[in-house]
Structure 1
Amino acid sequence: MLGVEVNVMNKLRLLVFTLLSFTFAGLFSVQVSAANAFDHSQWGTLLKEHVLPLNGGQASQVDYQGFADDKAQLDRYLADLSQVDNADFDNWSKDEQLAFLINAYNAWTVDLILTKWPDLDSIKDLGSFFRSPWSQSFIPLLGETRSLDDIEHTLIRGSDHYQDPRIHFAVNCASIGCPSLRNEAYTGKRLDTQLDEQTRLFLQDRSRNRIDGGKLWLSSIFKWYREDFEKGWQGYSSLEQFLVDHAMDLSLTSEEIQKLKDKDMTIRFLDYDWALNKI
């Protein structure tokens, strides 16, 4: 009888040890994951100091001279981005990856502007007849020398891994027509909230999206990337469905909402302002 009791106690000890092992392993895994999240605080500090939100964040202006004065800090952040290898990147959560890529795009866009600052009026001044500024390969990222187009259209949009059209309200092309450059860095922990806020702010800006003459006038972003809003994200199969869900942000009446639902609303697209978003 004593032998049976000893055997039972041994099994209980083994069970408790196994459960504790899994618990500590899980805690350790969470700690490692948190420790391995990329630190975007350098970029966040620069954005807070050199980006001026307008109209509650619907738009923003950039102090490129301020960025130029703090170029050493920007260079350190870009160097840190370049040190990330594919193995580390692949181990991050999807939100950590996407925040990293959005921040990288925005930071290297600022860096590109600074190559000719202050002698330019538009990012398009950095291109030529044969090559746009977005197709220039100058970014050492994830083991390759990439262009801004590579980051946006290959790493972000070209991957079925993300499929989140809200990125179009987060990546910034240094132009007035672009969605605002947010004055804080994107982080994996807050990405969904940040992207949702960027989307709402952009749609609330009547210089970019508005009803006029019975027509819905939208930013050209919706013309260029319409397909991204119709690929099934959040169940959307049409741009109209996305717009209906943001009817309040667009200040639509019940009649206008019904026209969108019926796909009977005339949609037109506004000209894009490529002037530099400078202070």
Structure 2
Amino acid sequence: MKAPKITFLFIILSFFSLTAKSQQAFDHSIWDRALLLNVSPDGKVNYDGFMRDSSLLYSYFLELSKNPPTASWSKDETLAYWINAYNAYTIKLIIDSYPIKSIKDIDDPWKKEFFKINGEWYSLNDLEHKILRKMNDPRIHFAINCASFSCPIVWNQAFTGDNVDEALHTLTKNFINDPQRNKITNDTVEASKIFLWYKKDFKINGGDVADFINKYADIKIDKQSKKGYMDYNWSLNE
């Protein structure tokens, strides 16, 4: 009669192990709270507020630094971690030099190695080009923010493994159909320069930038449309 008890105990332990693995690999609730307090629904950032709530930010930075993604994380959890890290450290970059009128007032803002994760120094370029772009999801370009008006808005929620796919879809659609960032009519297109700078990222399954835009655009681009790019406004997104 002892063997069945051992088997039952093993089943119970296995259940709790699987339950633990199904939980989120990283708790982004601190960042979620900071965003809710300091970012409006339309993406305007209150940098003064972030400075007042700096204890929240630095608690989150500590968690990011101590708990980088591992091989056991799902792709969505890993993607959420790095997008949140990029956006959070962009906020840090700005408030460390605030008040400024543009991220470009900072010397080499994207090359500057100013934060550590797991003991290693990183720049924003490292996160974007060496990690996020290599995850082969071009929608990340509409989730990471460069603290400027023409960038995609800062989403006022934290990305998580559970919400990141749906959020990326919604943010991409919203960005493409936002007339302040892309002007699309039946015969003329003025696209964000994001589609110029990262053109190769949007060439998926033999398609081109227009094909990618048309997946999300309310007004579809005709191949014969006159095409150009909007001026990029680097003013601070506040």
Larger Rg: 1
- Structure 1 residue 231, shift from structure 2 partner: 3.7
Q: Which residue of structure 2 aligns with residue 274 of structure 1? A: 234
- Structure 1 residue 243, shift from structure 2 partner: 2.0
- Structure 1 residue 29, shift from structure 2 partner: 2.3
- Structure 1 residue 212, shift from structure 2 partner: 5.4
* Counterpart Cα distance in 1 of 2:216 and 2:60: 35
CA deviation string 1:87-123 (max 9, x = no partner)? x5222111000100000000000001011112x1000
* Counterpart Cα distance in 2 of 1:113 and 1:138: 12
Q: Is the 8 A contact 1:33 1:92 kept in 2?
A: no
Alignment of 1:152-171 (within 5 A): 152-157=128-133, 159=134, 162-171=135-144
Partner SS, residue 173 of structure 1: coil
* Counterpart Cα distance in 1 of 2:229 and 2:58: 37
Partner SS, residue 233 of structure 2: coil
- Structure 1 residue 23, shift from structure 2 partner: 7.9
Q: Which residue of structure 2 aligns with residue 106 of structure 1? A: 87
CA deviation string 1:48-91 (max 9, x = no partner)? 0100123xxxxx21000000001111111111100124xx5222
Alignment of 1:1-279 (within 5 A): 17=7, 21=10, 25=14, 27-34=16-23, 37-54=25-42, 60-85=43-68, 89-118=70-99, 120-127=100-107, 132-157=108-133, 159=134, 162-211=135-184, 214-232=187-205, 237-248=207-218, 251-252=219-220, 256=221, 259=222, 263-278=223-238
Partner SS, residue 110 of structure 2: helix
Amino acid at match of 1:31: A
Amino acid at match of 2:174: L
Unaligned runs of 5+ in 1: 1-12, 55-59
Amino acid at match of 2:195: F
Change in CA separation of 1:230 and 1:275 when aligned onto 2, cut-off 3 Å: same
Structure 1 residue runs of 4+, over 4 Å off?
Answer: 20-24
Q: CA RMSD in A?
A: 2.4
Partner SS, residue 180 of structure 1: coil
When the two structures are superposed, what TM-score results if normalisation uses the length of structure 2?
A: 0.91
When the two structures are superposed, what TM-score results if normalisation uses the length of structure 1?
A: 0.78
Partner SS, residue 90 of structure 1: coil
* Counterpart Cα distance in 1 of 2:12 and 2:169: 34
* Counterpart Cα distance in 2 of 1:106 and 1:65: 16
- Structure 1 residue 24, shift from structure 2 partner: 5.4
Change in CA separation of 1:143 and 1:89 when aligned onto 2, cut-off 3 Å: farther
